[in-house]
Chain A
């Protein structure tokens, strides 16, 4: 089966102009959402407790809420259905140390009149852990980004590295904003999704960059737009295929993975779409805007080749015993 029998060259650079405007608007929107509404911090960051309870019959959510609200331990309690009619999720803010020991039995006792149930999960996170997690999360994110940027600069060119990273940040910011839109708690799964996206998005961008580099070296044209259009067009079938497979894999994860992993699968769904889009419409255009100059690049490559040639000659002369 073939989708594209022949490589048709599309003018991606031209469309990138609109892409860029679209991206800027979206990024500004995402940023303002991040700063105005902000994340709803889950217990991994804010501290607090989450209890997952499964009933043998339908869960009486109102009754549960009423019973828990009476007890001072559960101030600010939230009770919601979790995936099925029989399962509920109870969330409440952190209670001072010493009390957490008795949480399980306390809930069992309080909820006894509501019917037969089983506590399937009880997580309590103290505020100190949340802070540490925040610091570590941010640190690992920054370090990973920097390391990737260094590697890409080393293999390509710093403007490409910068363009790739800006595109990456764009993907991550928009995906993060989608977490707010979908009203998902910021927990470890969300962080895992954002981190995966980091790897996935730069992957996609590098494949396109690799083609650009190849075309620059084989076609001795000084028209960067032409090179980019050709490069994106010839990787188009691959980009679409891979993105579709990843998209479908994540989609099955979303559909069958259940509520437990929705914090991972839903942001990833958004991330894959934007990661693919940005590697075609944002990153290459940015490289041009950052002042990438193909003539200089060619001149440099010629110089490099010349140097290598000279070295080779020198070696040959040495081996022939002339020096």
Chain B
């Protein structure tokens, strides 16, 4: 009896318990850690978004430029030709006596390099700052998208960074094209809100000016949005915005006097002050509300607007207004997104995929088990038990680590079934060999395992190295495949090499006492 519980058997029993307990939730959908089904298996929308980080730099330059303009005006420093693009801010100082005051203002901005010759100034970010801005743009974009999707009310959306500048968005449970369309618009809407002054002097000629000329005046030509009631029309605006959407504190749906849905927003104290100052100084001039490069309205300022709140109107439907409010509330995307890849799988296809891979898995499994039992008799039964435990372990480990099972992952499992059997075949062949050479049962089992372990170990380690590298450097499908084969290899070392040996050791005395010990390994006595 004291021989029965050897360490290997204990490990095997623990592995069985672990495998059974932690795979139950996934198999029977009870409470506990469940395996995640990939979107290819449950249906849904899979988006890979590229972040245009260059644009993040551009908008940061623009926002610093508008701050410089504001501060300079406050201190009565006259600047000329203030412009910004994606590689810097440029302006000329009119009165060189103000150079000292100007540098005091510029000192307030971190992470910039100032290059001045005579009266001309070039301002650029340090390379460290540039990296930080790009990095922040991505993490901020992830946060913003996550926020928007949470408020949209979708089940378990996942937003993760992929590679250096890409974002992977997974939306399970999107049922139809309309929902898909709406979700995609919500995700990709920049929601970049700006207040801009209308260049009233030159606006009359807006139709005869091109972009380049406008740039020369420090202006920009923007179109009205299609829903604003004056589509096709363009307006000439001062390029440096009065204020930027990042001073926004709240946005929600409201109704105007005609009971049309509008989006009302409020600004933080700094924004409110700038807004108030500007409106007070520009009565009877127009101010444009610009969202994502389109003008929604350009009302004439009647009086100083204190309190820091405003409205965006533009013939929205209630749904559109509410999505816009969500987008504004969860912050602007710091850089525009580009859809690099879009994969959508309908729920019925997902079910078909699960069914056909289950059929493949089960029939492959039955084939292998049947074959093993016919060929190795009792040893084949033991190997089959180890195989079942192996499968349960894969499910359990994936469930605990929250790994996602994809279609290629299913293929990986099917293949693991084939390869895990290999370990048992090698061991059993070695035991048979020893038996044929006339060794007794106990010594044959010992020899079989020691001789086989070396080869199994070597081959498994090489495969494991390959799957780790594939996981580290592969994408999507390759990753899913690497996960299941990697876990499968580790599980197969535990079950096939350690586990079954423990089992043999435990029942060794019984095998030795049976009349036909050779029957256990499916061979007739001596060859």
Let me know if A124 and B455 touch, CB within 8 A: no
Contact among A125, A191, A207, A258 for B455, CB-based, below 8 A? A207
Of B131-139, B253-261, B460-468, the segment with at least 4 beta carbons within 8 Å of chain A is B460-468
Let me know if A129 and B340 touch, CB within 8 A: yes
Does residue B99 face the partner (Cβ distance < 8 Å to A)?
Answer: no
Does residue A92 face the partner (Cβ distance < 8 Å to B)?
Answer: no
Let me know if A1 and B374 touch, CB within 8 A: yes
A132 to B165, CA, bound (A): 12
Known: A118-B348, A192-B481, A246-B418. A198 touches B458 (CB 8 A): no
A111 to B476, CA, bound (A): 31
A47 to B375, CA, bound (A): 49
Let me know if B469 and A52 touch, CB within 8 A: no
Contact among A97, A148, A260 for B356, CB-based, below 8 A? A260
A interface secondary structure, majority? helix
Let me know if A192 and B339 touch, CB within 8 A: no
Residues of A within 8 A of B374 (CB): 1
A119 to B349, CA, bound (A): 9
A129 to B476, CA, bound (A): 11
**Residue-wise interface mask of B (342-368) relative to A, using a CB-CB cutoff of 8 A (1 in contact, 0 not):** 111110110011001101100110011
Residues of A within 8 A of B364 (CB): 248-249, 252-253
Does residue A100 face the partner (Cβ distance < 8 Å to B)?
Answer: yes
Does residue A29 face the partner (Cβ distance < 8 Å to B)?
Answer: no
Let me know if B177 and A105 touch, CB within 8 A: yes
* A62-105, CB < 8 A from B: 97, 100-101, 104-105
Let me know if B523 and A136 touch, CB within 8 A: no
A235 to B363, CA, bound (A): 27
- Chain A residue nearest to B377 in the complex (CB): A1
Known: A132-B163, A139-B473. A148 touches B462 (CB 8 A): yes
A155 to B345, CA, bound (A): 46
Does residue A264 face the partner (Cβ distance < 8 Å to B)?
Answer: yes
Residues of A within 8 A of B356 (CB): 256-258, 260-261
Shortest Cβ gap from B188 to chain A (Å): 8
Shortest Cβ gap from B87 to chain A (Å): 22
Residues of B within 8 A of A108 (CB): 177
- Chain B residue nearest to A235 in the complex (CB): B429
Let me know if A52 and B349 touch, CB within 8 A: yes
A1 to B428, CA, bound (A): 12
**Residue-wise interface mask of B (46-59) relative to A, using a CB-CB cutoff of 8 A (1 in contact, 0 not):** 00101000000000
Let me know if B348 and A120 touch, CB within 8 A: yes
B interface secondary structure, majority? helix
Does residue B227 face the partner (Cβ distance < 8 Å to A)?
Answer: no
Known: A100-B342, A140-B470, A246-B419. A188 touches B476 (CB 8 A): yes
Let me know if A188 and B340 touch, CB within 8 A: no
Let me know if B422 and A203 touch, CB within 8 A: yes
Let me know if A192 and B478 touch, CB within 8 A: yes
Residues of B within 8 A of A178 (CB): none
Of A18-26, A236-244, A286-294, the segment with at least 4 beta carbons within 8 Å of chain B is A236-244
Known: A128-B340, A188-B477. A199 touches B463 (CB 8 A): yes
Contact among B363, B376, B469, B477 for A140, CB-based, below 8 A? B469
Does residue B328 face the partner (Cβ distance < 8 Å to A)?
Answer: no
Residues of B within 8 A of A196 (CB): 411-412, 415, 481, 485
Does residue B388 face the partner (Cβ distance < 8 Å to A)?
Answer: no
**Residue-wise interface mask of A (124-151) relative to B, using a CB-CB cutoff of 8 A (1 in contact, 0 not):** 1110110011001101100110011001
Shortest Cβ gap from A309 to chain B (Å): 22
Let me know if B417 and A100 touch, CB within 8 A: no
Contact among B376, B419, B433, B466 for A147, CB-based, below 8 A? B466
A250 to B209, CA, bound (A): 67
Known: A1-B375, A119-B177, A192-B481. A242 touches B421 (CB 8 A): yes
A140 to B436, CA, bound (A): 44
Shortest Cβ gap from A105 to chain B (Å): 5
A248 to B469, CA, bound (A): 28
Does residue B122 face the partner (Cβ distance < 8 Å to A)?
Answer: no
A253 to B415, CA, bound (A): 9
Known: A120-B346, A140-B469. A200 touches B419 (CB 8 A): yes
Residues of B within 8 A of A119 (CB): 177, 346
Does residue A306 face the partner (Cβ distance < 8 Å to B)?
Answer: no
The number of chain A residues with a CB under 8 A from chain B is 75
Let me know if B485 and A199 touch, CB within 8 A: yes
A237 to B368, CA, bound (A): 16
Does residue A33 face the partner (Cβ distance < 8 Å to B)?
Answer: no
Does residue A122 face the partner (Cβ distance < 8 Å to B)?
Answer: yes
- Chain B residue nearest to A242 in the complex (CB): B422
The number of chain B residues with a CB under 8 A from chain A is 77
A147 to B473, CA, bound (A): 13
A73 to B472, CA, bound (A): 37
Let me know if B522 and A120 touch, CB within 8 A: no
Shortest Cβ gap from A311 to chain B (Å): 22
Does residue B107 face the partner (Cβ distance < 8 Å to A)?
Answer: no
Contact among B180, B432, B465 for A151, CB-based, below 8 A? B465
Residues of B within 8 A of A143 (CB): 469, 473
Known: A1-B522, A97-B339, A119-B346. A253 touches B360 (CB 8 A): yes
Let me know if B359 and A126 touch, CB within 8 A: no
- Chain B residue nearest to A49 in the complex (CB): B342
Let me know if B342 and A124 touch, CB within 8 A: yes
Shortest Cβ gap from B383 to chain A (Å): 11
A9 to B91, CA, bound (A): 88
- Chain A residue nearest to B339 in the complex (CB): A100
Shortest Cβ gap from B171 to chain A (Å): 14
Contact among B436, B473, B477 for A192, CB-based, below 8 A? B477
Let me know if A249 and B417 touch, CB within 8 A: yes
Let me know if A256 and B475 touch, CB within 8 A: no
20 CB < 8 A contacts A-B: A105-B177, A118-B346, A125-B343, A136-B475, A140-B473, A147-B465, A148-B465, A151-B465, A188-B408, A189-B408, A191-B477, A192-B408, A206-B455, A210-B459, A242-B425, A248-B371, A250-B418, A253-B364, A260-B356, A264-B408
Chain A residues within 8 Å of B, Cβ to Cβ: 1-2, 5-7, 52, 54, 97, 100-101, 104-105, 108, 118-126, 128-129, 132-133, 136-137, 139-140, 143-144, 147-148, 151-152, 155, 188-189, 191-192, 195-196, 198-200, 202-203, 206-207, 210-211, 214, 234-235, 237-238, 241-242, 245-246, 248-250, 252-253, 255-258, 260-261, 264-265, 268
Beyond A248-B368, A249-B368, 14 additional contacts (C-beta under 8 Å) are A100-B342, A104-B177, A121-B344, A123-B342, A123-B343, A129-B341, A140-B470, A144-B470, A151-B465, A191-B477, A200-B419, A241-B429, A246-B415, A250-B415
Q: List 5 tightest A-B contacts by C-beta distance, closest first.
A: A140-B473, A210-B455, A246-B418, A120-B349, A188-B477
Chain B residues within 8 Å of A, Cβ to Cβ: 48, 50, 163, 177, 180-181, 184-185, 338-346, 348-349, 352-353, 356-357, 359-360, 363-364, 367-368, 371, 374-377, 407-408, 411-412, 414-415, 417-419, 421-422, 425-426, 429, 432-433, 436, 451, 454-455, 458-459, 461-463, 465-467, 469-470, 472-478, 481, 485, 522-524, 527
